[in-house]
Structure 1
Amino acid sequence: MFQQVNDYFSDIYFNLHPVQKINLSHQHVRILQIIHKREYVMIRDVATHLSISHNTASDHVKKLVDNGWLVKERSVEDQRKVYLTLTDDGLSLLRNHTELDKAKLKEVIGQMTQEEQEHVISALKLLSERSR
């Protein structure tokens, strides 16, 4: 069953992914995802989540900041803490690299009955909720 889920997920992404406008490393995509999915993310959180050194995480973050996809913001409560936040361009880039192409998805979903659409949503929602 596990291999089937992986195979279907891989097929869906392969067939429905958007054209990448900007080349971005897998590590950079994951960093953008961490910052998008969690609150109050600092470089040490990125390092811990990716099992990399603080220096390596810092280098990756610097590249993302330099490209205008992330900003660093010092905490008002504790000036020692620096939080990472996606810019609008960073969020757009993340979506382009992680979401399915809306037009392709609309075409595929349009071929399904209402009942099939509800089954798809139900299954994906369940998988999403249990993965947290």
Structure 2
Amino acid sequence: MPRPSRSLSKAADQVRQFNHDTIATGDGWQYPPNAYDAIGSLAYLVRMLPQAIEQTMHPVERTHQDGRVTVDGGGDPARAVAVLHAAIADAANLARDLSVAVDRMHSAASPLGLDTRGLLEFDEDGEG
């Protein structure tokens, strides 16, 4: 049986790897088009976050409807589920705002290019 939380763990590991890979500039991470491509992928990821956040509520809702949610320390399950629901709604709304901001980043990076004059790696005859 699939474990959805494992999928998110793998995604987080990939973001961590991106953070590590981009600490310094180097091959494949040195020019504006590299940033544009990365921002596009980040925008795609961020656009999916609201749904992912909201769907984390599904197993809690199902269990609560069945009367099987418990709370450490004997707390009120209905209250705890309501608090979680509100927090999830807030997080999903903030993720939507983040998505708009990252889409703006992508648009802002779109016209940026690279002046390749004098860069040997872009000189067709290799003579600068």
Q: TM-score, normalised by structure 2?
A: 0.26
- Indicate the structure with greater helix content: 2
Higher relative contact order (CA 8 A, sep 6+): 2
Higher strand proportion (structure 1 or 2)? 1
Larger Rg: 2
